[in-house]
Amino acid sequence: MGGKLGIPVVLVWLDCVAGDLFVDMYRRGRLENLAEFFEEGSFVKNAVSCFPTVSESAEGGVVSGFFSGETNMVGERYFSRRQRRIKHYKFNARAEKDFSPRLRRKTLDAIVENGIAMGRIIHACEEVVDLVATRYEREGSLKIVERRIEVASRIAVEKKPNMLFFTISADYISHVYGRRGDAVEKFIKRFDESFPLLTEALDQAYGRDNYLLFVFSDHGSANVSKHLDLPAFLSEEGFNPAMPDLLMERREANAAALSNGRRVGLLYFTHPEYGWRRRPGYKILRNYPGKGDLLKLLAQEEGVEQVFARKDRHSVVVVSEEGEGVIEYDSQSDRYRYRVVSGSDPLEYNIEPKWMSEEEWLRATYDKEYPDAVVQIYNMFKSKNCGDLVLNATTGWDFWEPWDIPYPELKASHGGLSKDEMVTFILAKGPKVQKLEIEYARLLDIFATIASCYDVWEIVAGSHAAERILGGKLD
């Protein structure tokens, strides 16, 4: 399948760059090199990321067109019921092994063979490990920008891969200096200043205007100042949680709690009768022996904004301190409905409860505080790695754990559902790409555009990706 039309693909992934900051700088003419290059290309102002807003979920979406619950990439960490231990992709787990088996032959790597990557999480092509860039990332040094572009340019010229996929990380500086801090602005500005070196190398390797180039961020972040330790909370409530600072089998544990990106929480509980062999059902979670309603218990905690739980095969419950709603899915019409069942709206939508398609939900909510939440929350619970409960942190809070990276000061986190975390941007240019300014899209729509350029629409069938930047109309 790969290489059908011979269009080289270059994906430049700017990790953890606030979408609103980048768009503001781009629209105000502060990114002159990018603006000049993409003048004849497409610009998506509001590209909604994948929930949870972490790199694993975003990459799974970009390479397959599916949400985190379908790719099994629900974050950097999860709790394995079978192994009774926390699994972490940096230490004792492999993303490519957990990635959904049914999707492995339906990814970008199947469309565009002969790829080279730097910084990918799901290893499916040749991987280049740049130790200098890794050191710069850990130090929060802006030198990472020039280093990544220099190495990527060299690879393009020397090896001419059909797909070049590389990340430039602003993760550390966003955490330490805030989502719109001066250091993040300098990072974006440096990228713009170094960008011509990359395009000159790509022109030399592939020929001018003969490659498909995307620049995007995987997610944003939210400013934080308060932290809720979820394992400590469970301990205080009488549970015996698996401690996330020690990745080992925990037969004695009856619960587990961990965060991804620090602003989404995944909570797992034993079945009162069958232990870790079976998930506790919805009725048990709402009346857990000796504990009562776990959803309400957590929703009342100051650092928790919403609690999500799967009610049955076709519905997910949303609970906040002030109200409760339910997300419903109708498989016959492929439509979703969200309605408030008590109190105030936990998602703050105040939208008439009617059945709508994925596209209609995206259009109705991309500019709301919780973009695309109805569709993405429902689909997240399809993953075997998902928690029994999923938590979204309150504004200003996260679920940081004491063992975690000792930042000088943690000013921003990600993983959650807020607009600051969920909404990013896409710049695209190449053969067939139209000159367009697009109001909204999903980040995983990149997958559909590449598939369209390679004329392999069958690989997109059944996914959530939609082609938007080649000028076609959506159904």
* pLDDT at 297 (0 to 100): 97
Mean pLDDT over 16-41 rounds to: 97
* pLDDT at 1 (0 to 100): 41
Q: And the tokens for 378? A: 């429902």
Residues comprising the chain, all counted: 475
> What one-character DSSP code corresponds to residue 321?
S
* pLDDT at 246 > cutoff 60: yes
Mean pLDDT over 233-239 rounds to: 96
Q: And the tokens for 311? A: 């009610």
* pLDDT at 3 (0 to 100): 41
Listed residue (407, 468, 23) closest to 225, CA to CA? 407
Amino acid 71 reads: T
> What one-character DSSP code corresponds to residue 311?
E
Mean pLDDT over 44-63 rounds to: 97
Ranges for all domains in the chain classified under CATH 3.40.720.10? 9-222+419-459
Helix (H) / strand (E) containing 325: strand 323-330
The mean pLDDT of the chain is: 95
Chain segment 410-467, per-residue pLDDT in tens: 999 999 999 999 999 999 999 989 999 999 999 999 999 999 999 888 889 889 999 9
* pLDDT at 404 > cutoff 90: no
Q: Cα Rg for the chain, rounded, in angstroms?
A: 22
Q: How confident is the model at residue 207 (pLDDT cuts 50, 70, 90)?
A: very high
Task: Identify whether the C-beta of residue 157 lies closer than 8 Å to the C-beta of residue 201.
Answer: yes
How much of the chain exceeds pLDDT 70, in percent? 98
* pLDDT at 473 (0 to 100): 46
CA distance 275 to 265: 21
SS (H, E, C) 226-256: EECCHHHHHHHCCCCEECCCCCCCCCCCCEE
* pLDDT at 124 (0 to 100): 86
The upper half-sphere exposure of residue 455, i.e. CA atoms within 13 Å in the direction of its Cβ, equals 6
Mean pLDDT over 58-78 rounds to: 97
Name 110's bridge partners. Answer: none
| Best CATH choice for the domain 9-222+419-459 from the list 3.40.50.150, 3.20.20.140, 3.40.720.10, 3.40.190.10 | 3.40.720.10
CA distance 175 to 363: 30
Within 10 angstroms of residue 26's Cβ, the number of other Cβ atoms is 20
CA distance 24 to 22: 5
Look up the pTM and report it. Answer: 0.94
Angle (CA) 185-188-190 rounded to 5° is 105
Burial label for 390, CB within 10 Å (0-12, 13-18, 19+), is buried
* pLDDT at 474 (0 to 100): 42
CA distance 181 to 343: 37
CA distance 188 to 220: 13
* pLDDT at 122 > cutoff 80: yes
